[in-house]
Chain A
Amino acid sequence: GNSVTQMEGPVTLSEEAFLTINCTYTATGYPSLFWYVQYPGEGLQLLLKATKADDKGSNKGFEATYRKETTSFHLEKGSVQVSDSAVYFCALSRPNTDKLIFGTGTRLQVFP
């Protein structure tokens, strides 16, 4: 079946540290891949997406590259800020079915 696996949290970092949150997927066909973010007290928001192999999605200093050979879509940021503290969800959708399949989420805590 189709599924997404993310590293467990919480991930705790100091401000300006480098961030990686791992995400791997299992899917039939060629899915689209997403990172969603949920800030405290807010709803889910799309952070970035990639729709085909080797695409790189980027937004707000975050990046993720669609790696078909390793079925991965790891989220990275070079220098995190306290305001990046949130829960991050990796997700996929299969072609022609926009319903999203989410991972379990990874909580990021950034301290000054």
Chain B
Amino acid sequence: GAGVSQTPSNKVTEKGKYVELRCDPISGHTALYWYRQSLGQGPEFLIYFQGTGAADDSGLPNDRFFAVRPEGSVSTLKIQRTERGDSAVYLCASSLTITGEPYEQYFGPGTRLTVT
């Protein structure tokens, strides 16, 4: 079956511009996560959704970052007024549930964002 997909795979934008990154989770997965991975670092948590609601957005670095999941499936990460420091690979993951025994998170291939 299809895994987690992310589009675009690469995005180059100018400082100050607005970008949207899309994630299509595995069908039926209720939990969806966004992480950010800078060069030479491990992924850092940004936000997760249980269904349509953001259950934890404590990792969003500031109010320029926002994410939605209006129908409980596809999610969009939105970054306003991009800065060069936002350059990173943005990873999306999905899993079956959020409570109890930790279910495996399935990761997408990521979107490489470059802010020039």
Q: Which residues of A contact B (CB under 8 A)?
A: 4, 32, 36, 42-46, 49, 51, 89, 91, 93, 96-105
Contact = CB atoms under 8 A, between A and B. Distances in A.
Contacts of B98: 98
Interface in B5-50: 31, 33, 35, 40-45, 48
Given A44-B107, A46-B105, A49-B102, A98 B48 contact: yes
Q: Which of A42, A44, A91, A98 has the most CB of B within 10 A?
A: A98
Interface of B is mostly: loop
Contact of B110 (A43, A97, A105): A43
A97 B102 CA distance: 9
Contact of B102 (A93, A102, A104): A93
Given A44-B43, A98-B102, A100-B33, 12 more contacts: A32-B102, A43-B91, A44-B91, A44-B93, A49-B102, A49-B104, A98-B48, A98-B95, A99-B33, A99-B45, A99-B48, A104-B41
A50 to B, nearest CB: 10
Given A43-B107, A49-B102, A102 B44 contact: yes
A29 B105 CA distance: 21
B56 A91 contact: no
A104 B33 CA distance: 19
B15 to A, nearest CB: 27
Contact of A101 (B3, B45, B48, B110): B45
B109 interface: yes
B69 to A, nearest CB: 15
A36 B102 CA distance: 14
A99 B57 CA distance: 11
A51 B31 CA distance: 19
Nearest to A97: B56
